[in-house]
Amino acid sequence: MENKKLVMIPGPTPVHQSILKAMSEETASFKDPGFVADFLSVNRDLKEMWKTEGEVFVIAGSGTLAMEMSLVNILSAGDPVLVVSHGFFGDRFVEICNYKNYDVDVLSSSWGQIVPLEKIEDQLKKKDYRALVVTHVDTSTGVKAPAWEIGKLLKDKFPDVLYILDGVCSTGGEKEYIDEMGVDILFTGSQKALGVPPGLAILWAGPKALEKRKKLGKISDYYIDFDKWLPIMLDPSKYFGTPPVNLIWALKEALRLIKEEGLENRFARHQLDSQAIQSTLEDMGFSILAEKNCRASTISNVLYPEGIDCEEFRKALVKEGVVVAAGLGEYAGRLFRLGHMGNIDRHTISSVLAALERTLHRLGRLEKSPRFNPRW
């Protein structure tokens, strides 16, 4: 019998049975009254749970589509934008801004660290920025940005700068409440801490962002224009583009599970689990790329001890039934990325940690014997 693979990459994350079941319903017309009611309840829940007076957009696409959507509805070519980058996905924002001909400046940290708040404040004083963009958790580094503190800085001192927060690797795992944080646009993809299969881009726009969209008039992007989607989000029986019916059911069930757990409990669970995972990995001889003051609760980017070959390690780990992702950019070959977000339970976490330890042992890289090492 084949071993079940525990897919512990940073998305897609394991999908709960009840979500799979919700998805497997026979596809309905998007005008079906039952589906329309379901879509409306999803939209209502998303706004209530992440606490915004603004609106939410749920459209077919991946996180990158949402990145683009977050920019084009509030910015025009030539507008000054500040990107605070803590890795690969922050840098992707810079690339998109260049495609759109914005006047983009970037503040980057060394991988594993954050850009200090004072540096962000100094930069904001230098130009009349229209927006500041930051990735809450950069998946390439496992660094969590001080997203609440940045929000406070903007609210207190730069209220005209719109705040875009990339929540693709955080929303549903790290604490985020949109209006309270001072965030104007938050977005995520379905496949990460919400625990839904890939395919949905979810974007919240607060009142200031919606106001800004109005002022822009006609924009040059079509599929990701707020104006095209807003009537559908308010009344899903209307048509703009065919909604991914089964994925919206999956999201409805994912939100039900989150409400059952409680969002605050879910944030606390992610924090507790990540601390347990990270300290156990350190005990085994690995180290964590992100410095202690900025470690994410949703992902660990785990540096190999000297002399371990990444491909060999990941292949040996697959034999133990666990799939992790390789490092990106300058850390390709030097670390693996372990996702621990969404609907993963502690049985899974224990199995994954035991598999990692056994893999080190099999490669002759463990000083002590593994704590759990059946001789099959």
CA 367 – CA 97 distance, rounded (Å): 48
Closest approach of ligand PMP to the CB of residue 93, in Å: 9
Strands annotated E in 174-224 = 185-189, 200-205
CB contact at 8 A, 143 and 113: yes
Applying CB under 6 A, which part among 20-28, 63-71, 289-297, 348-356 lies near ligand PMP? Answer: 63-71
The DSSP secondary structure of 237-272, one letter per residue, reads: TS-SS---HHHHHHHHHHHHHHHHH-HHHHHHHHHH
Which of 354, 352, 312 lies closest to 333 in space, CA to CA? 312
* Identity of the residue, 168 or 308, whose beta carbon is nearer to ligand PMP in the bound complex: 168
Among 7, 51, 62, 227, binds ligand PMP (CB under 6 A): 62
Does 360 engage in binding with ligand PMP (CB under 6 A)? no
Which of 199, 166, 24, 6 lies closest to 89 in space, CA to CA? 166
CB contact at 8 A, 67 and 187: yes
Does 183 engage in binding with ligand PMP (CB under 6 A)? no
Strand partners, 105: 82
Closest approach of ligand PMP to the CB of residue 307, in Å: 29
Strand partners, 82: 105, 132
Quick note: the x/- pattern for ligand PMP over 70-99, rule CB under 6 A, is: -------------------x----------
Closest approach of ligand PMP to the CB of residue 176, in Å: 13
CB-side exposure of 77: number of CA atoms within 13 Å? 6
* Identity of the residue, 19 or 296, whose beta carbon is nearer to ligand PMP in the bound complex: 296
Among 12, 151, 172, 189, binds ligand PMP (CB under 6 A): 189
Does 64 engage in binding with ligand PMP (CB under 6 A)? yes
Q: What is the DSSP letter of 373?
A: -
* Identity of the residue, 151 or 189, whose beta carbon is nearer to ligand PMP in the bound complex: 189
Query: How many residues comprise the chain?
Result: 376
Quick note: the x/- pattern for ligand PMP over 140-179, rule CB under 6 A, is: --------------------------x-xx----------
> How many residues of this chain bind ligand PMP (CB under 6 A)?
13
What part of residues 104-123 is at the interface with ligand PMP (CB under 6 A)? none
Does 223 engage in binding with ligand PMP (CB under 6 A)? no
State in Å, rounded, how far the first CA of the chain is from the last one.
14
CB contact at 8 A, 201 and 59: yes
Does 237 engage in binding with ligand PMP (CB under 6 A)? no
Does 63 engage in binding with ligand PMP (CB under 6 A)? yes
* Identity of the residue, 40 or 326, whose beta carbon is nearer to ligand PMP in the bound complex: 326
Applying CB under 6 A, which part among 47-55, 135-143, 173-181, 334-342 lies near ligand PMP? Answer: 135-143
Strand partners, 135: 166
Read off φ and ψ for residue 251, nearest 5 degrees.
Answer: -65, -35
Does 135 engage in binding with ligand PMP (CB under 6 A)? yes
Q: What is the DSSP letter of 145?
A: P
CA separation, residue 238 to residues 38, 188, 219 (Å): 14, 24, 22
**Residue nearest to ligand PMP according to CB distances in the complex:** 63
Q: What is the DSSP letter of 86?
A: S
* Identity of the residue, 200 or 284, whose beta carbon is nearer to ligand PMP in the bound complex: 200
* Identity of the residue, 35 or 93, whose beta carbon is nearer to ligand PMP in the bound complex: 93
* Identity of the residue, 69 or 169, whose beta carbon is nearer to ligand PMP in the bound complex: 169
Which residues contact ligand PMP by CB under 6 A?
Answer: 11, 62-64, 67, 89, 135, 138-139, 166, 168-169, 189
